[in-house]
Amino acid sequence: MVFTNHHVGADCIQKLSTKERDYMQQGFTAQSRAVERECPDLELNVLLKIENESEKVKGATPEGATPAEAATKRCGAMSEIEKSCATATGHRCDVVTLFSGGQYHLYEYQKYTDIRLVFAPEKDIAFFGGDADNFTYPRWDLDVRFFRVYENGKPLRPIPYFPFSKTGVRKGELTFVSGNPGSTGRLMTYAEMEFQRDVQMKFNLERTGTLIAALKEFSKRGPEQTRVAVEEIFGNENSFKAYTGFVSGLNDPKFMASKKAQEVALRAAIAGDPSKEKLYGSAWTEMEKIIADYGTFYQNFQLFEGTLTRSGEPLAIGKLGANNAVLKEILAGRTPEATAREAIATSKLIDIDIRKRIANSIDAARNEPDGIMLIVRVLKPGARKYRKMWEDRVQARQAIETARIAQAQYSLGGNVYPDATFTLRLSFGPAVGYKNAMGEIVSWATDFAGMYKHATGVDPYKLPERWLGVKKTLNPSVPFNVVTRADTHEIVEALRKVYRADALLKELGF
């Protein structure tokens, strides 16, 4: 049995849903294993082992190689390590880059592909408060889903597992939270942060805002269109709010000044030691050159990498101009909307056999008269051109300089935690309240009573019908969410009194 956040399993439940049965809106509870629903293409990976393969990867780079040549050699070495591990063990094996190339670790996983949905609450309670409350803690949402992992047609019986807490976290108690965070930027230089503030985040906000607007316009066409778009809207609104937060921090003069002061102090310390200055002193200047170069083609790289195929044609027209040769060839005098409709109407890529045939034949990939493939072939030369520029002139060079900066910090006794890489991490801390940006005290936990007070009956503060009917049976003082997000109290109360999920509760030990 596995439980995770609601949005993690949203893709599965969206694919299980139909026009007649919308599990995202109605929720799902399997009262027995016989009615659990198999997720079409969900996989679960259990981390078994981590090995440091830094010497093998770095040793593959010949002395005097250019950054681009070095990057190619490293990628080759990483692929060989992964292939050797997978062949020997039958497991999934990934070489993970840490410290932007300072270290390379091999992560070995046991992969499971028979994952079945056991329980999912309705979207209205799983995301209660919607985008308005997103990234504010603690909330009043039942942000959870339960899955069961099967192996050879039978439920997996792992020896090590976390038992479900029967008491829940208490105020001030130490909590541990595991997860796979996406990305952080602890080793970013001041020049990189300025580039994020002035270029990257502005583009991300504009691109994501354009996509959200297109999805919401599509949703207005009817209930079925609303159902189809709901997960995409959630994901993009989540990203948009995250980008907004990044921009807020990057525009904070005090924050940027502190980052600048830290960098100046580090560079001064390195300059004070001739041996360290020789090894690391030029790293920051080189990074500034890399960022300046990236700025000359960043926009085109992002547009050709995917924006053009995700409701991005109007944005691309505004950025590249209506007379851009690639856009003119794709549109052929039509509107972006008409072009998209025709591409989809004349595409058969939904057929897996056709996709396999194209994937396994260069001739088919080059000549298939498919509406979407026609657009891909027009975009391909530009996409490859800009990706090659990014790989050789940015990624490869950044890996070298970021590693040097990390080594510079180590040489002075610093110990920086590696940035997030979508791999397993563990955070810990007490369950306590905090002061928000306005200086107000925020409690360590919310409760059921507070949730009902916030319910207005209008999205995003609309509760599912079953929650309205059981209000009097719930204990209003039971903690709902806590600041640490180790929120187990409300899960048990909801499973018992709202969803009557007795079989699931029994399995969890209640």
Beta strands at 103-112 and 92-98: parallel, antiparallel or unpaired: antiparallel
The mean pLDDT value for 94-123 works out to 94
Note whether 138 and 434 are within 8 A (CB): no
Strand partners, 52: 105
Write the CB contacts of 224 (distance below 8 Å, at least 6 apart in sequence): 19
pLDDT tens digits for range 21-68: 999 999 999 999 999 999 998 999 999 999 999 999 999 999 889 999
Given pLDDT bands bounded at 50, 70 and 90, which one contains residue 320? confident
The mean pLDDT value for 91-106 works out to 91
**CA 340, CA 332: separation in Å to the nearest integer?**
12
Tokens of 164: 């479900």
**Is a pLDDT exceeding 90 seen at residue 346?**
yes
**CA 366, CA 364: separation in Å to the nearest integer?**
5
Given pLDDT bands bounded at 50, 70 and 90, which one contains residue 316? confident
The pLDDT value recorded for residue 187 is 84
Note whether 201 and 185 are within 8 A (CB): no
**Is a pLDDT exceeding 50 seen at residue 447?**
yes
Q: How does DSSP classify residue 39?
A: P
Q: Which amino acid is at 151?
A: E
pLDDT tens digits for range 247-305: 999 999 999 999 999 999 999 999 999 999 999 999 999 999 999 999 999 999 998 88
Strand partners, 97: 104
Tokens of 123: 């979207």
Name the average pLDDT for the chain.
90
Write the CB contacts of 437 (distance below 8 Å, at least 6 apart in sequence): none
Q: What is the dihedral of CA 107, 97, 307, 207, to 10 degrees?
A: 110
3-state SS, residue 428: strand
Q: What angle do CA 216, 336, 311 make, to 5 degrees?
A: 40
- Lowest mean per-residue pLDDT among 359-373, 429-443, 462-476: 429-443
Beta strands at 37-38 and 154-155: parallel, antiparallel or unpaired: unpaired
124 to 10, 23, 128, 129, 213: CA distances (angstroms): 13, 12, 5, 8, 21
Length of the chain: 510
**Is a pLDDT exceeding 80 seen at residue 489?**
no
The mean pLDDT value for 477-494 works out to 73
Element (H, E) at 362: helix 362-367
Helix, strand counts (H, E) of the chain = 24, 15
Residue whose tokens read 């049965």 = 21
| Percent over 70 (pLDDT), the chain | 97
The mean pLDDT value for 238-244 works out to 91
- For the chain, give every domain's residue range: 2-43+113-183+423-508, 45-112, 190-411
